[in-house]
Amino acid sequence: MSILVVGSIALDTVETPFGQAEEALGGAAVYFSYAASFFGHVRLVGVVGSDFPEEHLELLKNRDIDLAGLERADGATFRWKGRYDYDLNEAHTLDTQLNVFETFAPAIPEKFRDSDFVFLANIQPGLQLQVARQVKAPRIVACDTMNFWIEGAYDQLRETLKSVDILVINDAEARELAREPSLVKAARQILKWGPRTLVVKRGEYGVLMFSDHSVFSAPAYPLEDVYDPTGAGDTFAGGFMGYLSTQEEINEMAIRQAIIFGSTLASFNVEDFSLNRMKTLQMQDILERFAEFKLLSHFEEVEDAGL
Amino acid sequence: MSILVVGSIALDTVETPFGQAEEALGGAAVYFSYAASFFGHVRLVGVVGSDFPEEHLELLKNRDIDLAGLERADGATFRWKGRYDYDLNEAHTLDTQLNVFETFAPAIPEKFRDSDFVFLANIQPGLQLQVARQVKAPRIVACDTMNFWIEGAYDQLRETLKSVDILVINDAEARELAREPSLVKAARQILKWGPRTLVVKRGEYGVLMFSDHSVFSAPAYPLEDVYDPTGAGDTFAGGFMGYLSTQEEINEMAIRQAIIFGSTLASFNVEDFSLNRMKTLQMQDILERFAEFKLLSHFEEVEDAGL
């Protein structure tokens, strides 16, 4: 099954308590693609500038990621500069240079329009909707967004959500989108606006999934140190959509397992800067950590006779 | 099996976004006792002033909680006044009047000294140790503490920990106690100081349990609204120790189940002010919510052949 992703490709400069990375490969579409490529065939739509290092493209091509939708524009690649302190849940943005990403108008190649799974990474909601409409008969459309669009393009975002099956955002975004401090109430509200499933990322606290009839709570993997949280959310989404693309039926259990695969991929990604840890990751590592997640959250039912 | 608890008995005045309670029954030993009383025979050691309403004592007696260790001192009962905003994880203390609790010197009645399970609620660490030493042959000694003692009685607390099997604290306290921002590293450190098990309470994010050989992550129950988080931690501890007291062998799985029972009791307690929700709670409600916790965190293993 084919997985289409539209989103940013970036050169990130990141500082954390454990070190730093200069102009390293990043961007939502990159993290997503790499993670999803463990499970299926990925098609990437994005833009880079004329200064984008060829080696980064080679890395993606070697994962069998189709770059037919990659635009090379005149100018500089999108750059983000940020810092994390010991509270690694919060990124402090030091500088953002949109560059060629500022006027990005995603064009979906004809051969990508039969994609089965579509992930609309965090871009302008109107563009997200345009992309969704260009795909003929997607099985699943998932999307991400951020506070910037919730505040600045609320009506467009609400319109886009009507075409989305699964919304993948963090807890602060869910509360802000629904204008409701209770996360559970916010989730109930958002599920009335289009998505059948809401996946709420909570960083070191794991993931909560809401659907009409159930709630699922996934733990985070208890790492000694998070070296660099950049890209964790998009890596999660890549593992999540990647696993779903292997499933004949997208039912409740498939979505729960996909959340654990997403969490697994994200837990590896934060062990090093940029995509460094991902480069050496093997499917065997992923399956072993999936099994660890099972142990981490397992408890047996009780015989109630004695109580 | 008998469960001994030593800790505060208070009259709480609490304000949350959902309402307020004036001079309501509270205190660590009270919340603990009530929750534990669903599972076993509880013995309470604490102090109240001459102004303490008789009806509160009746409530505890009706739960078969043994008050032989309750001291009635001349003076006023311990009072706490606090406020919670929408971020219900954080209490803002408006006023604390220790009153008779300030000079509390817990005396363990002779008939309590054969207790099997001991919970040292949050009191001065030196007093906690005195209590632990007065119990002849406890199967499990668990304790709580707070930043005030970590900062003001660090050496005494470290000494007390040598006699403790299970330490039950929140994540900020665990980090502060170990002087280590990584929770996983902090846990590893604390486990070298005495406790064989560390239970870390994370409010709306659930509970993490660390032992020498494993980590367990328990979800929090996704409530639409938390009306009053006061006493949630001690109610958790009461359900936790209460369930353990029903077990012939205190093994890994018993501790995991006990954490879910603790979380279950706490999830009910925060549905109303003071112990109001607890007063109508039945064992059947507890068992049903325990089963919901199982559904909440359940996912199946994967066949790895296809990946």
Identify the residue whose tokens are 């000494």.
Answer: B159
Residue A83 lies in a domain: yes
3-state secondary structure of B200: strand
d(CA A243, CA A245): 5
CB–CB of B222 and A219 under 8 A? no
Determine the pLDDT at residue A279.
Answer: 97
State pLDDT tens for residues A35-62: 999 999 999 999 999 999 999 999 999 9
Label residue A189 by pLDDT band (50, 70, 90). very high
Q: Is residue A248 part of a domain?
A: yes
| Closest approach of B263 to chain A, Cα-based (Å) | 13
If chain B, 307 residues long, is cut into consecutive pieces of 10 residues, what is the mean pLDDT of each piece?
A: 97 95 97 98 98 97 96 97 86 94 95 98 97 97 97 98 98 96 96 98 96 96 94 98 97 97 98 96 97 96 70
Instruction: Tell how far CA A120 is from the center of its chain.
Output: 9
Tell whether A206 lies on the interface with B, counting CB pairs under 8 A: yes
Place of tokens 């005195």: B130
Taking CA atoms, A102 is separated from A25, A121, B195, B203, in Å, by 18, 15, 55, 41
Instruction: Give the C-alpha separation, A144 to A86, whole Å.
Output: 26
Is residue B98 a part of any domain in this protein?
A: yes
Q: What is the CATH number of the domain that holds B118?
A: 3.40.1190.20
Q: List % helix, strand, coil for chain A (3-state, nearest 5).
A: 40, 25, 35
A-chain residues within 8 Å CB-CB of B204?
183
Q: Tell me, yes or no, whether A305 lies in a domain.
A: no
CA–CA gap between residue A240 and residue B208 (Å, rounded):
24
Give the gap in angstroms from C-alpha B188 to the nearest C-alpha of chain A: 10
The percent helix, strand, coil of chain B (3-state, each to 5) is 40, 25, 35
In a domain, residue A41? The reply is yes
Residues 6 or more apart from B88 whose CB is under 8 A from it? B16, B203, B204, B226, B229, B270
Considering the domain boundaries, does residue A306 fall inside one?
A: no
Residue A288 near chain B (CB below 8 Å): no
Q: Are the C-beta atoms of B230 and B20 separated by less than 8 Å? A: no
Interval A124-166: pLDDT, tens: 999 999 999 999 999 999 999 999 999 999 999 999 999 999 9
pLDDT in tens, A8-36: 999 999 999 999 999 999 999 999 999 99
User: Is residue A304 included in any domain, yes or no?
Assistant: no
pLDDT digits (tens, 9 = 90+) for A280-298: 999 999 999 999 999 999 9
Q: Looking at the 3D structure of chain A, how many domains does it have?
A: 1
Domain membership of residue B307 (yes or no) is no
Residues spanned by the domain of B288: 2-299
Is the CB of A172 inside 8 Å of chain B's CB atoms?
A: no
Q: Is B94 on the interface with A (CB under 8 A)?
A: no
Distance CA A120, CA A237 (A): 10
Residues of chain A with Cβ-Cβ distance to B298 below 8 Å are: 216, 256
Q: Which pLDDT score, from 0 to 100, does residue A303 have?
A: 73
Residue A304, pLDDT > 90, answer no
Nearest Cα residue in chain A from B259: A299
The DSSP call for residue A202 is -
> Is residue B249 less than 8 Å (CB to CB) from chain A?
no
Which residues sit opposite A198 in a β-bridge? Answer: A167, A210
Tell me the whole-structure pTM to 2 decimals: 0.96
